[in-house]
Structure 1
Amino acid sequence: MPDLVTPSTDLHAAWLDCHHEWGPGRHEDGFGVRETDDVVSEAGFAAYVTRLVDQADPAQAEAMGRMPCSYRWIVEDGQVLGGIALRHELSAKTEPLGHVGYGVRPSARGRGVATWALGAILAEARTLGLDRVVAVCDVDNAASARVIEHHGGRLEGIRDTEHGTVRRHVIGL
């Protein structure tokens, strides 16, 4: 059974294994990786993890010029299976992305990992006091749409964004 864990430098090798399986790109949603992040070196990875952890704190997120966001890694038996992020609120910039972004490495797909992780992060959303969560996925990602719909996501519409055409769902909490 997987766990949702706060990003940690202890998982550097396992995280890199996941990252290498995927290859870099937007499909790594949930990890908060920026093109400028050095995730290979220990020092660079430590800085990346610190940024992710700090962003969950509203005061620190504001100091970074970012919206608060909780990042969690999906870990099972010491292996990083994917990541999921929960934006605590939406701004004009994050609204097209929704509250939740997630991704599961190819070798872990088809086992219900994303469905489980979304359910777990929705519990965190409730503790933050959110009454609804917006979740988007690429218009052609039927598997992700099923994950969202499993948790009560109602299709609000299909939109063109700077990231491509997405399905926008709202999950009532």
Structure 2
Amino acid sequence: MDWYTSVFELIDMRSFSNLWFWVALAVLWSSASHWVLGVPWDMVLRAGRVGGQPAADMETMVRINSERILYITRESGVLMTGFAGFVLTFLFLVGFVYGREFAQAVFLLGTPMALVWLLSVGTAGRVQRQELSDAALIKQLTRLRFYIRLIGMASIFVTATWGMWQNMSSSALGG
């Protein structure tokens, strides 16, 4: 038995039984809830607590990132939406109709992130339209982070439930 075979017997390379998939899921949602509109959450907290220059820095970052998000959306929003819809539909069909676990895993990562992107675009537009600043801006970012965390919790629950089902099904079938 060679090294390659030993490693693949030791580490199950299917998505839902692979430790690296769960690490990636945790990192994905940790990052999504930490970076709200491209601004680190600790910067938002510091801006609310201290005010002054930290608040001005946060507002500048939000303004820059909001403009960037809206520019991307204006320039290629229809194309991105169509492509994302195609990819997610493809992953759904390959994963759930044809039973490919990798496609299921990527679909369960990508679909909630598409929702996060839509929420971020909406929030960026609201920040720019209403010219939010100070406490109103922090409140809007807090609300966005809350919704991102709700989506993340639901996503982790659904993914963990589906992953356990897949793992139990494959072990019941003998591999």
TM-score, normalised relative to structure 2: 0.28
| Bigger share in helix | 2
**RCO higher in structure (CA 8 A, sep ≥6):** 2
Q: Which has the larger radius of gyration?
A: 2
| Bigger share in strand | 1
